[in-house]
Amino acid sequence: MKNIWIFNHYAGPPSTTTGLRHFNFAKYLIRNGYKVIIFASSVQHNFGINMIKDKESYMRYEEEGIPFVFINTRQYNDNGKKRVENMMDYYRGLFKVTKEFEKPDIIIGSSVHPLACLAAIKLSKKYQCRNIIEVRDLWPESLVEHGSIKNDSFFTKILYLGEKWIYKKAHSIIFTMKGGKDYILEKGWDKVVDLNKVYHINNGVDLEMYKKNIEKYSINDLDLNSKETFKVIYVGSIRSNNNLEIMVDVAEKLKKYHDIKILIYGDGNEKERLEKLCTQKKLNNIIFKGFVKKNYVPYILSQGDLNILHGVSGKIGRYGISLNKSFDYLASKKPILSDILCAYDYIIENNCGLVVESDPDSISKGIISFYKMPKTEYEVYSKNEQRVIKQYDFKELTKKLINIIEREV
Q: Please state, in angstroms and rounded to a whole number, the distance separating the CA atoms of residues 236 and 257.
A: 25
Residues 256 and 181 in one domain: no
Residues 357 and 402 in one domain: no
Residues 75 and 131 in one domain: yes
Residues 198 and 246 in one domain: no
- 71, 41 in Cβ contact below 8 A? yes
Q: Could you give the angle at which helices 207-216 and 394-408 cross, rounded to 10 degrees?
A: 150
- 70, 61 in Cβ contact below 8 A? yes
Residues 107 and 218 in one domain: no
Residues 187 and 263 in one domain: no
- Burial label, 1 (beta-carbon count in 10 A; 0-12, 13-18, 19+): exposed
What is the domain count for the chain?
2
pLDDT confidence of residue 76: 84
Would you give the DSSP letter of residue 235?
E
DSSP character string of 332-378: TT--EEE----SS-HHHHTTSEEE--SSHHHHHHHHHHHHT--HHHH
Q: Please state, in angstroms and rounded to a whole number, the distance separating the CA atoms of residues 378 and 382.
A: 7
Residues 265 and 170 in one domain: no
- 264, 244 in Cβ contact below 8 A? yes
Residues 255 and 174 in one domain: no
Residues 359 and 234 in one domain: yes
Q: For every one of its 409 residues, what pLDDT tens digit does the chain have, with 9 covering 90 and above?
A: 899 999 999 999 998 888 899 999 999 999 999 999 999 999 987 667 888 988 899 999 999 999 999 999 998 877 778 889 999 999 999 999 999 999 999 999 999 889 999 999 999 999 999 999 999 999 899 989 888 899 889 999 999 999 999 999 999 999 999 999 999 999 999 999 999 999 999 999 999 999 999 999 999 999 999 999 999 999 999 988 889 999 999 999 999 999 999 999 999 999 999 999 999 999 999 999 999 988 999 999 999 999 999 987 788 999 999 999 999 999 999 999 999 999 999 999 999 999 999 999 999 999 999 999 999 999 999 999 999 999 999 999 999 999 999 997 6
Alpha-carbon distances of 159 from 113, 175, 180, 258, 306, rounded to whole Å: 11, 18, 18, 52, 41
pLDDT confidence of residue 46: 67
Select from 145, 149, 146, 183 the least CA-distant residue to 163.
183
Residues 99 and 166 in one domain: yes
Alpha-carbon distances of 304 from 199, 229, 232, 329, 340, rounded to whole Å: 35, 9, 6, 10, 20
Q: How many residues does the chain have?
A: 409
Would you give the DSSP letter of residue 322?
-
Q: Please state, in angstroms and rounded to a whole number, the distance separating the CA atoms of residues 254 and 368.
A: 8
Residues 361 and 329 in one domain: yes
Would you give the DSSP letter of residue 287?
E
Structural domain span for residue 96: 3-204+393-408
Q: What is the pLDDT of residues 308-359, one digit of tens each?
A: 999 877 889 999 999 999 999 999 999 999 999 999 999 999 999 999 999 9
Beta strands across the sheet bearing 230-235: 286-290, 260-265, 230-235, 306-309, 336-338, 353-355
Query: Which domain CATH number covers 382?
Result: 3.40.50.2000
pTM for the structure as a whole: 0.94
Q: Residue 219 in 3-state DSSP?
A: coil
- 307, 329 in Cβ contact below 8 A? yes
Q: Residue 234's beta-bridge partner residues?
A: 264
Residues 197 and 251 in one domain: no
- 147, 318 in Cβ contact below 8 A? no
